[in-house]
Structures are given as structure tokens and as C-alpha cells.
Amino acid sequence: MDFSFTEQEEAFRQELRAWLEANLPEGWLDGTFNMPDDEASFLRDWQRKLYEGGYAAIAWPKEYGGRDATLMEEIVYHQEMVRVKAPALINYVGIHMVGPTLMQIGTEEQKATYIPKILTGEEVWCQGYSEPNAGSDLAALQTSAVKDGDKWIINGQKVWTSFGHVADRCFLLARTNRYDKKHKGITAFLLDMNQEGVETRPIIQMDGKHDFNEVYLNNAVAYDADIVGAVDEGWRVSIALLMHERTGIGAQVFTLEQQFNDLVAVTKELEADGEPLMNDPFVQRTMVDLYARSRGSLLNYYRNLTKQLKKGHPGVEGSMDKLIVSEITKDLFAQAISLQGHQGVLWKEDAVVGGSYWQDNYLYSFGQTIGGGTSEIQKNTIAERILGLPKDMGR
């Protein structure tokens, strides 16, 4: 495939650039912006703006409010968003995971009810998969849903629920039947988070931030109309959503590219014995290694995206992207900390370069190799489903 941009694609880039300049909050581009205390409201407003500008979900089909963007337009989009370090997408789960899954498997009623509000950010979503005893082994989940007329009464506990504290709805997996085989008897629900039976408790990470939560379900209620796919057949649905999740995470190749460029700037800025670190052959060797790996991951992502566009839905290749990108990201931030020598441990206002950007992201990078399925699980998936090797004995 030819990855040079046509005049039309460059025109799209200019249009998006102009839109970003006009719509990013004051101080965003020159680094003087201060995030308000109510970050969630700010991010909801930002998503609303993206929607009004036609940039909330450019890859979605036009009939669902997207732009039917081409692969190359998607690449331009990612490059430009990363270039300005655009605010985070608060409805990431809705746009990249729940929306595409509903388009693929949802009923017409579910599509009409939920998709428009996902796009505007009016309803923020979270993903209720993991439980205290079900992570990599997701099919071991124990949260139960019991039928009561047209209602389902749900009891159990979810954990690591990103956005749970700001979410209006949850794409939740619950056990509706206890068959011998644990992959059977699971059902996927579109749960209303704003009800008495749902309690969300924060989990504070080692970087001091609050991104995810424990969610307790005490007689929470869902309805027949909230079921995605068939009752007891939710495993297939859960995998469809995970494929979208991993492909979405793979798009971090663009962030990685930007982070690599930022790291190059750091190696030029920091000095040892009066010389920029970039002149040190050992630093050069690590930087070349990181460059080669991140460039390779970008090309691999392009290849997988091309395949996905041909098939119309993501495939198992998303596991490769997810694995490679998260592991290189971790190595890149470890290198950034190491370049700062003993000052690498200084954090927040004491940080010597980049205002704590490197320390924050270094701490966060460990989670990236876990969320969306750990690196070991991606390796198992690649081994079994891409390379055709024998199945993991543990499952």
C-alpha cells in the first residue's frame, strides 16, 4: 500500500488543523492551560465540540453520524490529534468499543437508542468485565443476573472499571446460567449506572490519579431490551467488543511516534559533561532501537488496519498491535527516566524536564501492558490464533 498523502488527504489535514486551532481551549496550544477541577465536565464539553465539528468518530459509517473516513484520513486524524496532544476522549469506551459492537451485533432499537448519545458524549460508557477472580480468565466471572419477568436482577462485583465514576451506562457481562462449560451461560447487558443498585468506589493509582473503580451491584436492574446478542451467548459478544478494544489501543502507535519525537528532544536538551546526551553512543544505540521498533509497530498497525477495512470488522491481529505498542511504550518511558539519571525519581513540580510528563507516563505505562488483556494473554492469542500453535494448557 502507498502511504503518501494525496492532495485531498492533505486538504483534510488542513481543515482539521484549522478546526483544532479554533476550538481547542485557550492556552492549550501554548501550554498555559490549567485543567479545571471538574475535569469530567470539561471533557464532556470537548467531546460535544468534536461531535459538532464532525470529528467525534470519523471512521464510523455516515448512517451512524460518522464520516466514512478512509484509512488515510484516519491516519491523518490520529497524527493531528496527537500533534496537539488533544484532550482525552471521555467516551473512549463508547466510541471505540460499545458503538462499533452495537453496529455489528445490536438490535435496531439499541442502535437507535444508544449510538447518537455515544457520539455526542451525552452518555458516557464503561466496561464491566473484570472481577476480583476473573481477569485474564474472564469466563470465570461470577456476577449473576437472574430473570424476574422482563427484568434481570444483577448481583456481584466488578473491578478496574475505567470511567466507572463518570459513566452513565456499562457494557456488563453477567452469568445467567451455570453450565458445565464456563464460556457458556454468560450474557452481555447494557446497564444503567444511574440507579440505586450500582455503587462505585474509587481505586487510586500509584500516580495519585483516579481513572478506575470497583463497581458493586446489589440488586441492580436491567431489562430484556438491554441484552446484546442472545441470553447465555454473551461470550461471543464479549470477544467482539474486545477486538474493537485492542484495535483502538493499537492506534496508540501514533501517540508513540509523538512520544519518540519528544524523547529525541530530551536527549538534545539534557547534557552530561557539557555534551548533549544525544552525542553519547550508548544513548544513540537505545534511541535507534526504539525508533526501529516503533516504526515497525506503525507499519504493522497500517497492515492490520488495511485488513480490518477489507473485512469490515477487526480481527485477531489487534492483539499484535496491542502487545507491541504497550511494550515499546513502557521501554520508551523507562529510557526517558534513565536519561535523567538520579534526577529521574523527581516528580511533579520537582521534575527536571517536561514538567513530570515523563514520570507520569512511566508510571502509567505499566498499566498499558495489562488493561485490555495482559501481554502474556496477547502472546497466547497470537500463538494460538495467528501462528496456529497448540492451545494454552491452563484454559
Cell (9 digits) for 332:
520508551
**CB-based contact 91:124 (threshold 8 Å):** yes
**Residue 125 CB, nearest distance to ligand FAD (Å)?**
10
How far, in Å, CA of 292 to CA of 306, rounded? Answer: 21
* Residue 316 CA: distances (Å) to CA of 9, 61, 239, 387: 29, 22, 10, 11
User: What track of x and - describes contact with ligand FAD for positions 142 through 171 (by CB under 6 A)?
Assistant: ------------------xxx---------
- Quote the CA–CA distance of 98 and 83 in Å, as a whole number: 27
Shortest Cβ 111–ligand FAD spacing (Å)? 23
Q: Which C-beta is closer to ligand FAD: that of 127 or that of 329?
A: 127
* Minimum CB distance to ligand FAD smaller for 31 or for 394: 394
Spell out, one character per residue from 197 to 236, where the chain touches ligand FAD: x when CB under 6 A holds, - when not: ---------------x------------------------
* Nearest distance in Å: CB 190, ligand FAD: 15
Whichever of 55 and 129 has its CB closer to ligand FAD, that residue is: 129
Site for ligand FAD in 363-382 (CB under 6 A): 367, 370-371, 373-374, 376-377, 380
Smallest gap, in angstroms, from Cβ of residue 369 to ligand FAD?
Answer: 8
Instruction: Compare residues 46 and 160 and give the one whose CB is closer to ligand FAD.
Output: 160
- CB crowding 143-175: b at 16 or more within 10 Å, else e: bbbeeeeeebbbbbbbbbbbbbbbbbbbbbbbb
Smallest distance, ligand FAD to C-beta of residue 138, A: 7
CB 276 within 8 A of CB 267: yes
How far is it, in rounded angstroms, from Cα 351 to Cα 345?
A: 8
Judged by beta carbon, residue 208 or residue 341, the one nearer ligand FAD is: 208
Residue nearest to ligand FAD (CB): 135
CB of 361 to ligand FAD, least distance (A): 13
Q: Does 238 bind ligand FAD (CB under 6 A)?
A: no
φ and ψ of 19, to 5 deg: -65, -45
394: contact with ligand FAD by CB under 6 A: yes
Q: How many residues bind ligand FAD (CB under 6 A)?
A: 21
Helix-helix angle 357-368:318-339, to 10 degrees: 150
Per-residue cell: 202 = 474509587
- The crossing angle, in degrees rounded to 10, of helices 108-120 and 39-53 is 110
Q: Does residue 129 bind ligand FAD (CB under 6 A)?
A: yes
Catalytic residue among 73, 80, 131, 245: 245
CA–CA dist 3, 73 (Å, integer): 11
Q: Which of 23, 82, 33 is nearest to 53 (CA)?
A: 23
CB 286 within 8 A of CB 358: no
With CB under 6 A as the contact rule, which of the stretches 46-54, 75-83, 121-129, 180-188 interacts with ligand FAD? 121-129
> 161 vs 259, which CB is nearer to ligand FAD?
161
Shortest separation between residue 168's beta carbon and ligand FAD, angstroms: 15
Nearer to ligand FAD, 13 or 158 (CB): 158
Among 47, 101, 110, 130, binds ligand FAD (CB under 6 A): 130
DSSP letter, residue 142? -
- Paired sense of beta strands 169-175 and 125-128, if any: parallel
For ligand FAD, give the closer residue by CB, 162 or 340.
162
**Is 68 an interacting residue with respect to ligand FAD (CB under 6 A)?**
no
Residue 63 annotated in active site: no
CB atoms within 10 A of CB 261: 13
Asked whether 158 and 129 are in contact (CB, 8 A), the reply is yes
What is the rounded radius of gyration, in angstroms, for the C-alpha atoms of the chain?
22
Residues in region 291-350 near ligand FAD by CB under 6 A: none
365 in Cβ contact with 329 (< 8 Å): yes
Q: What are the cell numbers at 252?
A: 496508540
For ligand FAD, the binding residue among 91, 101, 110, 127 (CB under 6 A) is 127
Q: Which residues are catalytic, by number?
A: 245
Applying CB under 6 A, the residues found at the interface with ligand FAD are 126-130, 135-136, 160-162, 212, 367, 370-371, 373-374, 376-377, 380, 392, 394
